[in-house]
Amino acid sequence: MDADGNVLAYCTGGLVLDVPAKSIPALVEWTLREAKLGQPKLSGPGKDADPLLVLTEAALERYGLPATLTDAERGAGRIPESHKVVKQLARAEWKLTKRGFGPWARIYRPAKGSERTCVQLCIPSWHALDARHWGGVAQLPPAELARVLGVYASRVMTPRGSTAVTGLELMTALHPPTRASDPDADGRRHSEHNPGSLGKDPVDPAPCEAPDGHPLLKDLPRFHVRGPQEKLFEEAYDWARPMTDAECTLRHLVGIDVNMAFAAGANGLTVGLGAPTHVKNPVFDPKLPGSWLVDLSHVDLSRVKIGKDTWTDLDADLLPSPFTPKGDHPEGPAWYATPTVAYAVELGYPVRPIEAYVRHENGRYLDGWYQRLRDAYLATMADLGVHADMTPEDFLAAMGGYRQRDPELAIVVSAIKATVKGGLGKLRERPRGEGWRPGEPWRALSRPTWRPDIRAAVISRTRINLHRKIVKHAAFTGQYPVAILSDCVVYAADGESPLDFLPYRDGKPLPGGFKLGINPGLVKHEGTQSVLWGEEVRERFDAPELNLARYIKDGTVTDADNGE
């Protein structure tokens, strides 16, 4: 609102519109009929994006809405149906989705033909924009707030809720479940399955892919704990080891972090599109997505293949196993996603699965999703002065303080990265709230995009991609990681820079190893601390295997981090 009490709409590109609407129903009508806001569809069979209105506290007051929610309203995630604004919408024959009038409210009328009659509201003061991913964007002036959300909307998509929700919605927007058929004999078109999509109906996971509490597991004893032979444990690394005497003589611990690691893990990955097929004693097929029960305990990391016919000897005691998130060596048969089993074969060892759940209907469902998010990330980082064609030295210099060059665009970068991780997390969304009990409704299961097998495959491939680089680095340099947390790896080195231990020659990195750069899958400097710091922290908490990768960025370790 301006000084005269007029309502203004700050749009992308610096456009400012006068808003004549004096109520929320009138605001919705104005948005659709006069302002004609929104975004074009991302895919041929898709739909145009609904307009998004972000209501500041001044706008909330103007339209009779509270500036903040009460504790009860925050718990419910909405204002009560008895609120006057909700009643105004009902009288004007506007509807709300099941989540009601909350931080991300969707106001609509049933669609007629191709006409879109839906507007979404985002209310920052109701905590619509999570500060973990959007920083202090909620406190920005309207024009700056419009810029941040506008850049995100143009490069990713119009937000549909949290970054996690938007990440999932982006998958669907790029692969809508249905499309219009060719005209029939009467010239009419019908809705039909869109090839390459997940379809419009949910599918059950394999029992080993189902998380605890899933209806498929209702017949298990109440306190039964499933082990590796019953449950697929494909998660990111959380591994560390004590430092060797030789490493303790070095001066620094240097952390490197893989850019957009999980997005890179999704790129080119073949995933299942339909329901799984159960097979006994199958022949392993690395091109077939699925979950495999197989014993990989015979894989010996002290001697592995690192090329078509090249074997190398390694110190297996200094390496994590590639097959478990904690880096422990497997002790017998366990369930693994296809990329994990394929890596055992790549290392030179035969595999003989006992059984499997495979998906014959499959495709590279996430390729477009990866490309959209990659391009958004690279374009925004380029705006911040970090480009894909920099030398390693220039790249490290450009990354130093890039957030201070344009704090608003730095917020967009954080939101893009959160969209990747959150979207993948939503593929195996769990019920929320301490009051939920097994057997009660689990709303996420009604979505075709509730696909824990796809999430597992991406995480498996991401972890394997990282291990492959670690092995190549160890074989070439004799250096081994001290700690790994998800996509961050810590090495002991004499210098403070990644260039003090990454084997660059004439500006070129080790083929197949770590490479500095901004592209997804390449690495950046995460942080450097002293070896003395690492030893002191581990001694203080009496934890010789404390994961130093968790604290390498700024060196801050609190008692709360270690359960004290």
Q: pLDDT tens, 89-119?
A: 999 999 999 899 999 999 999 877 656 689 9
* pLDDT tens track for 250-309: 999 999 999 999 999 999 999 999 999 999 999 999 999 999 999 999 999 999 999 888
Q: Residue 564: which pLDDT band, with cuts at 50, 70 and 90? A: very low
Q: What is the pLDDT of residue 557?
A: 86
Q: Residue 506: which pLDDT band, with cuts at 50, 70 and 90? A: confident
Cα–Cα distance measured from residue 563 to residue 281, given in angstroms and rounded to the nearest whole number: 44
Per-residue pLDDT at 560 exceeds 60: no
Closest CA to 414 of 147, 113, 152: 152
At position 261, the amino acid (one-letter code) is: A
Strand-strand pairing, 52-54 and 118-122 = parallel
* pLDDT tens track for 425-481: 999 998 865 456 666 678 899 999 999 999 999 999 999 999 999 999 999 999 999
Strand-strand pairing, 483-485 and 191-193 = unpaired
Cα–Cα distance measured from residue 10 to residue 4, given in angstroms and rounded to the nearest whole number: 16
* pLDDT tens track for 180-201: 777 766 767 777 888 999 999 9
* pLDDT tens track for 124-170: 999 999 999 999 999 999 999 999 999 999 999 999 999 999 999 99
Q: What is the pLDDT of residue 563?
A: 44
Q: Residue 49: which pLDDT band, with cuts at 50, 70 and 90? A: confident
Q: Determine the average pLDDT of the residues in 363-382.
A: 98
pTM of the model: 0.94
Q: Determine the average pLDDT of the residues in 399-426.
A: 97
Listed in order, strand segments (DSSP E) in 281-430 are 290-295, 303-305, 311-313, 333-337, 355-358, 362-363
What is the average pLDDT score of the chain?
93
Cα–Cα distance measured from residue 269 to residue 264, given in angstroms and rounded to the nearest whole number: 9
Closest CA to 332 of 302, 355, 356, 298: 298
Close Cβ partners of 290 (under 8 Å, ≥ 6 residues apart): 206, 272, 276, 337, 338, 356, 357, 358, 359, 453
Cα–Cα distance measured from residue 197 to residue 193, given in angstroms and rounded to the nearest whole number: 8
Per-residue pLDDT at 492 exceeds 50: yes
Cα–Cα distance measured from residue 312 to residue 303, given in angstroms and rounded to the nearest whole number: 6
Per-residue pLDDT at 385 exceeds 80: yes
Tally of CA atoms within 13 A in the half-sphere of 195 that contains its CB: 1
Q: Determine the average pLDDT of the residues in 48-76.
A: 93
Q: Which of 75-79, 327-331, 454-458, 514-518 has the lowest mean pLDDT?
A: 75-79
